[in-house]
Amino acid sequence: MTQEHGQNALLPTNEDTCGPYFPIYFRDESLEDLTRIDPGVLAGASGQHIILRGRVLDRHGDLANGVVMEFWQANAKGVYRNPSSAGHPDIDPWFDGYGRLRSDTGAYKFRTIMPGASADRAPNITVTIFSDGINRIVTQIFFADQPGNDTDPLLSALDEADRPKLIARHDGRTVDGAEVYLLDIIMAGDGETPFFDDFES
C-alpha cells in the first residue's frame, strides 16, 4: 500500500480477501431491500422503487460465485445519511442508504429507491465488492437517461468508451411498479468495469 500518511498516522492493517466462505448466516434481509425498513413493518423509503440487477463476471465471463456486494446511495432527494447531513430537512427517516447482500451464484438483485441527483452529481449508487481472490473493490453505477449523466464529474473523468460500463440500462417494470435496471459488472479482462481508488484519491 502506498497511501500517504500523516506524521503520526498508524500503519493500516492490510485488507485481505473475504474468501469463498463469507457466512450466509450474517445475511440481513433488511439490507437487501431498502424500500422497506424491515419485512412486515408498515414504513418505507420515499421515492421510485427500483430493482438493480445483473451479473458479476470474472475474466472468462463466468459468474463470480460467492461475492459480497455493498451499496451506498443518497435518498430520493439526493441527501446522503452521514454525519455531514445531520439535521438536514430532506433526510428520509426511513432510509439509511446502505445495503448488503451475498450472491451464491454471482447474479445479483438489489431493491431500493432511485437515488436523487445531488449538487452536480447524477443519480448513482456506490458498489463495493468483496470476493475470494481479491480485496475490496469499488465502483459507482449510474442509470440510463437520467439528467446529469452528461455532466457528472465522475463519468466525465472516464474515457468515452468506459462510460457505458457504469450506466445501467432500463429493463422494464415489475407488476408492483419497480423500474428495473440492468448492469453486469466485469471484474477483469475484456470489457472490464472501471474501479476506483479510495486510498489514493
Partner 1 sequence: MTKLGRQIGIGPTDNTSDQRTPRQRLRLIPESARESFVPYVPARYTTRAHEWDLTRISPDRPRADGSPIEVTGTVRTESGAPVRNGLIEIWNANHYGRYRHVEDGSGLPLDENFFGMGRVLTDENGTYKFWTISPGAYLARPDIGRWRPKHIHLSVSGGSSRLITQMYFPGEPNNASDPMAILMGDAFERNLGKPYETPDIDVDQGFRFDIVVGGRNATFFE
Q: Which of residues 125-154 bind partner 1 (CB under 8 A)?
A: 126, 128, 130-138, 140, 152-154
- Residue list 74-113, contact with partner 1 (CB under 8 A): 74, 80-84, 96-98, 104
When the beta carbons of 111 and 124 are compared against partner 1, the nearer one is: 124
Query: Out of 55, 66, 103, 146, which residue is the one contacting partner 1 (CB under 8 A)?
Result: 66
- Residue list 162-201, contact with partner 1 (CB under 8 A): 187-189, 192-201
35 is a site residue for partner 1 (CB under 8 A): no
Distance of alpha carbon 151 from alpha carbon 100, whole angstroms: 29
CB atoms within 10 A of CB 173: 13
22 is a site residue for partner 1 (CB under 8 A): yes
Q: Which set of grid coordinates corresponds to residue 99?
A: 445495503
Residue 118 · residue 153 · CB < 8 Å: no
When the beta carbons of 64 and 101 are compared against partner 1, the nearer one is: 64
When the beta carbons of 175 and 201 are compared against partner 1, the nearer one is: 201
Query: Out of 33, 45, 52, 72, which residue is the one contacting partner 1 (CB under 8 A)?
Result: 72
Distance of alpha carbon 88 from alpha carbon 175, whole angstroms: 34
Q: How many residues bind partner 1 (CB under 8 A)?
A: 79
φ, ψ (nearest 5 deg) of residue 152: -60, 130
Distance of alpha carbon 72 from alpha carbon 74, whole angstroms: 7
Taking CB under 8 A as the binding criterion, the range among 47-55, 59-67, 143-151, 170-178 that sits at the site for partner 1 is 59-67
When the beta carbons of 96 and 180 are compared against partner 1, the nearer one is: 96
Q: Name the nearest CA neighbour of 67 among 164, 185, 190, 180.
A: 185
Q: Name the nearest CA neighbour of 132 among 45, 55, 64, 192.
A: 64
Quickly tell me which residue has 449510474 as its cell: 142
When the beta carbons of 130 and 143 are compared against partner 1, the nearer one is: 130
